[in-house]
Amino acid sequence: MNTEAVNVLVAKNPSLKSAKAKLEAMEPGAYVTHRSWGFGQIQRYDEGNQKLIINFANKKAHPMDPAFCLTTMDVLPAKHLLVRKETESQHIADLIENNPAQLIVESLQAYPNNATTAIDLELTLAQAIGEDKFKRWWSSAKKAIAKDPRIAIPVKKTECYVLREIPVSAEDEILESFGATRSARRRIHLAEQLVSAAEKGESKTDLTAILAGVTESVKDSNQLDAASRLYGAAVRDDLAALAKVDPATLEPSQASLISNTRELPAIAEKIPVHFQNRFLQLVHETHPVESRDLVFALLKTSQGKFTTECINFLVEHGHTDELAAVLKRWQTEQNLRAPVLLWIVKNRHSKKFARLLHDMITPRLLNAIFFAIDYEALQSASARRIPLGDILSDDTELIGDLLAVADPETARDLANTLMLNQGFEELTKKSLLARFIKIFPSIQSLVASDAEGREEQLLVSRASYERKREEYETIVSRKIPDNSKAIAAAREHGDLKENSEYKMAKQDQQVLMAQKSLLERDLERARITDFKDAAPDQVSVGSIVDVRSETTGHSSRYTILGAWDSDPENHVIAYKTPLGLALLSKRVGDHVKVRIGNSEDSYTITGISRYADALTAKQASNA
């Protein structure tokens, strides 16, 4: 806008006088960024309507009131990165591709004082590079930028990238940051960078003063938890070796920090990934006699890459046979956790672990996988993905491998388990069941009948329904409100990232919400029955069934009741159990086979009566 046009606006609206310079900068050809419309270019000023005509990417020749633009739009300087992408497109494209550090230098030169916040710089770079490509590009570019002595890199995103007047080496910048911070965690991180540089021969610094600072932080800081203190001690000892100081003279020693074996699982959970192998070696050196058992205990609760590290450690130290035995025992006890199961299925074709895993790839492992997925789904109560469920879905050969030695009855039981699993969406269940049916076509009938049954609702007794209803009311009226109070109280304790009470309360909230959702669904499906509709000559829900084991000759009596009525000690079973399903619709004299896990038994039905009749007779005798 020219001076005359600006003066007309100011005369009409005197409050614009203080913004006269910005209005004059809104001249034809100037590039701008708008809060809503993004990057654009001013084409002209329509004096008749007193409107700026601006071309934005998705709004060509868009008219805008200059007064409104004062608070929603910025005029960019000619050296701004987004402007230069338009005016010097080839040069900027070359910097993006080949010289990210120089791109940052030239970007900072466009700002007053050659500095801007990390947030602003990243937003600008994302616009220039493209949102879809920026994340990967920035991850790689930061490594080059960190080595450039001209650029001061902020610790936090709210702080500024600064173009230095006098270049400073990356090492000097680390030393400067180390001297300026009192944070123990930050000091350990900076010391680790110096160790890395020194090991590559890139450091010329006297490490003695740095060693003293890290030693003080590890020894006295109350900012560090046990895992951070141990890792700090390891970095300190690396520094000491480079400074030609005997690490054995420094306290606390790494060995003393893991002397209490009860603390090892909590430490292992928080140590950096690249320190995990070293941590296991330290456990071995500190506790040579019991190290094997300690690593087994760590494996049982391990997560992610640490699972692999624990298994590799045990194999490399000659414990393959013991590991195979322990994995089988955990499987029998249903103690195989999801991370270990995930490792097993990922490595099932590995030659290195063939002897270890040969006997594990069975239908029983698939049952353990379903159990772990179901458990994790119930505990998480969120939309986050379950890795074990993902690999079962994505690895198209996995179900076939696990069912290779299965018989039709075992496959049928596992298919039924899948259909009741909480960890899969319905479409995923259908996809997985199709793999079952491809191997065992007879399962198709089970799938159809179960799907129909689930739509028809669950048969339950009034007593079991009231128990479920009471459980639901307790969660809704007492446990969830109490949990909300606990979350509110935990918030008042400060930093949520380091607030264990808050984290535990939020985890409890997830579990409670999952339980509430599951109970609501079950109660909606429930149909209360008094079991008086049971047939007298055919096993149905509400039958008392006498059976004789064909293996042992032993006779037993089972009462088959509703889905929530199981009482194994009194031989009351739910009709949804494997034995209940096997007996349904059978008559006296029929033979049935029941497989539960790896065990199978055959029964002959010797008698059928009605639970309702027995209950009536009992009430009459008590009257």
Dihedral over alpha carbons 198, 200, 201, 202 (to 10 degrees): -80
Q: Which of 40, 75, 110 is the last residue of a domain?
A: 75
551 shares a domain with 482? no
Average pLDDT, the chain: 88
* Domain membership flag for residue 536: no
Strands 31-34 vs 38-46: parallel, antiparallel or unpaired? antiparallel
480 shares a domain with 436? no
Determine the Cα–Cα distance for residues 327 and 318; give it in Å rounded to an integer: 16
394 shares a domain with 439? yes
- Token couple for 485: 């109070």
Q: What is the pLDDT of residues 412-443, one digit of tens each?
A: 888 888 887 778 887 888 899 999 999 998 88
Q: Which of 414, 431, 452 is the last residue of a domain?
A: 452
Percent of the chain at pLDDT above 70? 94
* Domain membership flag for residue 24: yes
- Token couple for 409: 């009855």
Q: Above 80 in pLDDT, residue 532? A: yes
* Domain membership flag for residue 208: no
Print the domain residue range for 44: 3-75
92 shares a domain with 128? yes
Q: Which of 25, 56, 75 is the last residue of a domain?
A: 75
Output the domain CATH number for residue 504: 1.10.287.180
Cβ atoms of residues 81 and 128 within 8 Å: yes
Cβ atoms of residues 64 and 54 within 8 Å: yes
Determine the Cα–Cα distance for residues 146 and 141; give it in Å rounded to an integer: 9
Q: What is the pLDDT of residues 124-168, one digit of tens each?
A: 999 999 988 999 999 999 988 988 889 888 878 888 999 988 777
Q: What is the DSSP string of 475-503?
A: IIIIIHHHHHHHHHHHHTTS-GGG-HHHH
**How many CA atoms within 13 Å lie on the side-chain side of 407?**
9
* Domain membership flag for residue 491: yes
Determine the Cα–Cα distance for residues 236 and 261; give it in Å rounded to an integer: 22
560 shares a domain with 502? no
Confidence band for 464, pLDDT divided at 50, 70 and 90: very high
pLDDT of residue 134: 92
Four-residue CA torsion sign, 200, 201, 202, 203: positive
DSSP-assigned letter for residue 94: H
600 shares a domain with 552? yes
Cβ atoms of residues 299 and 340 within 8 Å: yes
Average of pLDDT values for 184-191?
91
Closest CA to 535 of 543, 523, 527: 543
Determine the Cα–Cα distance for residues 514 and 379; give it in Å rounded to an integer: 7
* Domain membership flag for residue 17: yes
